Structure 1
Amino acid sequence: MSKRQLFTLEFPVRCSPTILYGFLSSPAGLQEWFADKVDEWEGVYSFTWGNAAPDKAEFLDSEEDKFVRYRWLHYDKNEYFEFRIEKTEISNQTILVISDFAEKSEIKDQSQLWEYQIKELFHRLGS
């Protein structure tokens, strides 16, 4: 098995960091766009898609309106996926930066999956 590597994607968003943060950090917000069902128990989030068994992720860290970081329980302890909310200096535009890990050969597919998910998020945000 080859080593998974970190990659990042950036998406300009037309909404406030506070609203965006709610969609990235709460089970109700994540259920709006990321998975069909999201539950949280003692810092472990269960994400369910369709009739599949839930995928579980541990909540690692966050800073309100800035970032939230999770770690899939079935991956290496050093790997995570993160949603970071940044503002551009000149235009003050909100940017969502996603960091994730994938095999080098799977980064393109994983990026396309994130792009699909983010389109759903934008639809929910009305952005």
Structure 2
Amino acid sequence: MEDRIKYEMEFPIHASPQLLYQYVSTPSGLSEWYADNVNSRGEIFTFIWDGSEEKAKLLGKKSGERIKFRWMADEEELEPYYFEIRIQVDEITKDVSLMITDFAEEDEVEESKMLWENMISSLKQVLGST
């Protein structure tokens, strides 16, 4: 299989880190913007879109700061890929940004970035953030 390329994106968001964390770390929060529905059983999260589902393993989280997942297909293949959503607060301005780290095959990076832009746009609508 082709190696995937790691990429990072930053999205300024006008919301408190605590509120933002609820939307990126809980099944109910993720269901509001990331997928049609999200369920979790222990460290396994099931993401449902248009009737199809993908499972991801929770690799780690730090309350109010970040959450990290690996798709089960990658987990089973022992692939090192993951996606991480991190909340970053500027020490001086207190501006809040959502930092996305993900991997995509070289010819799919732009498409993958557009997908994240659309999903973060949905998150901003849910939050009432501009």
* Same fold per superposition (TM over 0.5): yes
TM-score computed with the length of structure 2 as normaliser: 0.93
Alignment of 1:30 onto 2:14: no
> Equivalents in 1 of 2:27, 2:79: separation in Å?
22
- Where does residue 104 of structure 2 map in the other structure? 102
Q: If the length of structure 1 is used for normalisation, what is the TM-score?
A: 0.95
Instruction: Report the counterpart of residue 121 of structure 1 in structure 2.
Output: 123
1:96 Cα deviation from its structure 2 partner? 0.3
Q: Which runs of 5+ in 2 are unaligned?
A: none
Q: Count residues in correspondence.
A: 126
When structure 1 is superposed on structure 2, of 22-31 and 83-92 the one drifting more is: 83-92
RMSD (Å) for aligned C-alpha atoms? 1.0
1:89: how far off?
3.0
Q: Give the drift of 1:42.
A: 1.8
| 2-structure distance, mates of 1:125, 1:72 | 26
Aligned to 1:48: 48
Which stretch shows the higher mean deviation, 68-77 or 26-35? Answer: 68-77
In structure 2, how many angstroms separate the alpha carbons of the residues matched to 1:110 and 1:77? 18
Report Cα offsets for 1:20-66 as digits up to 9, x if no partner: 000000000000101011000121000000122x1000011011111
- The residue identity in structure 2 corresponding to 1:8 is E
- Give the stretch that moved more between structures: 26-35 or 76-85: 76-85
What is the CA distance between 1:92 and its match in structure 2? 1.3
User: Aligned residues: percent identity?
Assistant: 37
Structure-1 separation of matches of 2:59 and 2:96: 23
State how far apart, in whole Å, the 1-side matches of 2:17 and 2:50 are: 30
**Secondary structure in structure 2 of the residue aligned to 1:10:** strand
Structure 1 alignment gaps of length 5 or more: none
Q: Secondary structure at the match of 1:14?
A: coil
Quick one: distance in 1 between partners of 2:108 and 2:86?
A: 22
